[in-house]
Structure 1
Amino acid sequence: KGPTPTEVETIAEVISSIRESVGIKVCASLGILDRASLLLLKDAGLARYHHNIETSRRFFPRIVTTHTFDDRLRTIHEAKEAGLEVCSGGIIGLGEKEEDRIDMALTLKELDVDSVPINILVPLKGTPLEGIDAISMADVLRAIAIFRLVMGNKTIRIAAGRESALKDFQGLAFMAGANGMMIGGYLTVRGRPPEEDLAMVAEIKKLWNG
């Protein structure tokens, strides 16, 4: 679920070292934590906590069995109470319905998170969802548009799975409502070279700036 108190102390030391040596803002993704641990990390220099809700409350038990949806929400509330920015989103293409995507977006709006990563399932051999039908490109773009309508001016980032789901049409995600993306490798799949993403961003800026 999350690191032990001793591990949290070690992570806090690492965060402090990063802040002192590099000076960049630090975001951590460590699972379920209590407020005391989050406060310790904030005092060490942590700026943002990443903790996805994954999907809707209704669909969550079909995907996660080790803890509850409320456990996830509790950690997000604790992170906000600790004064941290919060990055929270989920995965689409798990077999959920569009209503689940809408409910996920509404939950994130209620939580008032700062950034919303949208991951797209990549069915991998040997995993429980290896045989699931891939979500269509149209449904991915529709989901991004829904999140934009619900989340207002919050940052919406397309993340893992965008390369395989959108292929040569990744730029359409930004027309649908995304205004950020994660680049490089992900947890289970490799991304594409950052140079390709930077070139795409340059072209998108030309469109946005007219």
Structure 2
Amino acid sequence: MKANLKAPVKVGWDNLADLALKDIPLTKEQAISVLTCPDDEILPLLYAAYRVRKHYYGNKVKLNMIINAKSGLCPEDCGYCAQSAFAKTNVKKYTLLEKDTLVAGAREAMARKAGTYCIVTSGRGATDREVDQVVEAVKEIKQEMPLKICACLGIMSEEKTKKLQEAGVDRYNHNINTSKGHHDRVTTTHTYDHRVETVKNVKKAGISPCSGCIVGMGESFEDVYDMAMELREIDADSIPVNFLHPVEGTKMAKMDELDPRYCLKVLALFRFINPSKEIRMSGGREYNLRSLQVMGLYAANSIFVGDYLTTDGAEYTSDHQMIEDLGFEVEECAL
């Protein structure tokens, strides 16, 4: 039996779904009403978000897997990140993994039924040598496996992104992370415009842009709305919505302000504002949504399986079980 929710008695949230299905963005006031939705109206809100999600994606769920291809050693001062040189953490530090290790990771992604394999490196941006090393791995993966390849190598020039595109990289991730107005409270070693420029370079190179955010870094409701609208403006095809998982030793170690119900409201908002896009429950979903993770799939249509960069994820078999129990279906090797 396919997943469904009974239509709610209240229809106010359905008005927002109607707007989304016409691709009309919410106003700031409407967005804040979603983020401040009374907890006893979460089911009607999620039903409305599900209407939009189902229209574009049915009950399919896309799976993505990350490999931390280069860890630590990052000169940036991002307050959330355990890999920052400014953080006092014990994360592993290593240079870019060898080609064979990257290819082996792709085989693991296939085994986990992931459609997208994400090669992620720490640092401000990849060197020419690192880009060439990733290019060689991608060429071999593409010859062997029907995987979508996503690269996340930091700030990128148009020339470097073109190299990745020619090798077969399908998608490039570079998150805006937060709103422009809140950016300087998160990091000061690069600008918000640096991030947006990289996404634009990706699009110029003919690679599908993936860009998202991290919620829970002290931003306001207005900031969350601005993030969703910026991602709509830059036309990101895939939008990972991360929820801060505070790590001891980082600047944001004591920032633990999220609850599962608010996270669900955020996912609903991103679905309304970016109705046709891949909305992905990403880093911090296990920590912040806890037992309500399954409900997030009524708004989101994509998740990561396995571990994240410096924090542990759920066992991939439990993710498969969650999807199956809901009546949804894994979209295997979704290209």
TM-score range, shorter chain: over 0.9
What SS does the corresponding residue of 1:127 show, helix, strand or coil?
Answer: coil
Counting only pairs closer than 5 Å after superposition, residues 162-181 of structure 1 correspond to structure 2 as 162-175=285-298, 177-181=299-303
Alignment of 1:23-102 (within 5 A): 23-102=146-225
In 1, the alpha carbon distance for the partners of 2:166 and 2:199 equals 17
**Alpha-carbon separation, structure 1, partners of 2:195 and 2:135:** 21
2:239 match: secondary structure: strand
Report how far residue 17 of structure 1 moved. Answer: 1.6
**Gap change, CA 1:180 and 1:206, over 3 Å in 2:** closer
Within 2, Cα distance between the matches of 1:27 and 1:21?
16
2:282 to 151, 155, 159: 159
Question: Which region of structure 1 is more displaced relative to structure 2, 61-70 or 3-12?
Answer: 3-12
Which residue number corresponds to residue 58 of structure 2? none
The answer to whether the Cα contact below 8 Å between 1:159 and 1:183 also exists between their aligned partners in 2 is no
User: What code does the residue aligned with 2:270 have?
Assistant: F
Identity of aligned residues (%): 38
Task: Verify: 1:199 aligned to 2:321, yes or no.
Answer: yes
Alignment-derived partner of residue 310 in structure 2 = 188
User: Could you tell me whether the CA contact under 8 Å between 2:261 and 2:289 is conserved in 1?
Assistant: no
Confirm or deny: 8 A CA contact 2:245 2:287 kept in the other structure.
yes
1:140 is aligned to 2:263: yes
Alpha-carbon RMSD across the aligned residues, in angstroms, is 1.4
Any idea what the Cα deviations from partners look like across 1:69-126, whole Å, max 9, x if unmatched? 1000001001011110111101101111111111000000001111111111111111
- Partner Cα separation in structure 2 for residue 133 and residue 25 of structure 1: 34
The corresponding residue for 1:117 is: 240
Q: Which has the larger radius of gyration?
A: 2
Partner of 1:20: 143
Q: TM-score w.r.t. structure 2 length?
A: 0.60
Question: Is 1:10 the equivalent of 2:133?
Answer: yes
Letter of the structure 2 residue corresponding to residue 195 of structure 1: T
User: How far, CA to CA, are the matches of 1:3 and 1:133 in structure 2?
Assistant: 31
Q: 2: distance between equivalents of 1:167 and 1:133?
A: 14
Match of 2:86 in 1: none
Deviation at 1:14, TM superposition (A): 1.6
Q: Which runs of 5+ in 1 are unaligned?
A: none
Indicate the structure whose relative CO is greater, using CA pairs within 8 Å and at least 6 residues apart. 2
**In structure 1, what residue type is equivalent to 2:323?**
V
Aligned partners of 2:256 and 2:130: how far apart in 1? 39
* Residue aligned with 1:133, SS: coil
- Deviation, 1:133, is 2.9
Aligned residues: 206
Contact 1:123 1:134 in 2 (8 A): no
Cα distance between partner residues in 2 of 1:165 and 1:108: 23
Cα offset for 1:206? 5.3
The answer to whether the 8 Å contact 2:172/2:202 transfers is yes
**Paired residue type of 1:38:** T
Counterpart residue type for residue 162 of structure 2: L
- Post-superposition Cα deviations, 1:20-52, rounded to whole Å, max 9, x if no partner, equal 233422110000111110111111111110111
CA distance in 1, matches of 2:305, 2:235: 24
Compute the TM-score of the two structures, normalised by the length of structure 1. 0.94
Distance in 2, matches of 1:154 and 1:205, equals 21
Unaligned runs of 5+ in 2: 1-123, 330-335
Kindly indicate which of the two structures has a greater share of residues assigned to helix: 1
Deviation of residue 160 (structure 1)? 1.2
Q: 2:303 corresponds to which letter in structure 1? A: M
Aligned to 2:226: 103
3-state DSSP of counterpart to 2:197: helix
- Number of the residue aligned with 2:251: 128
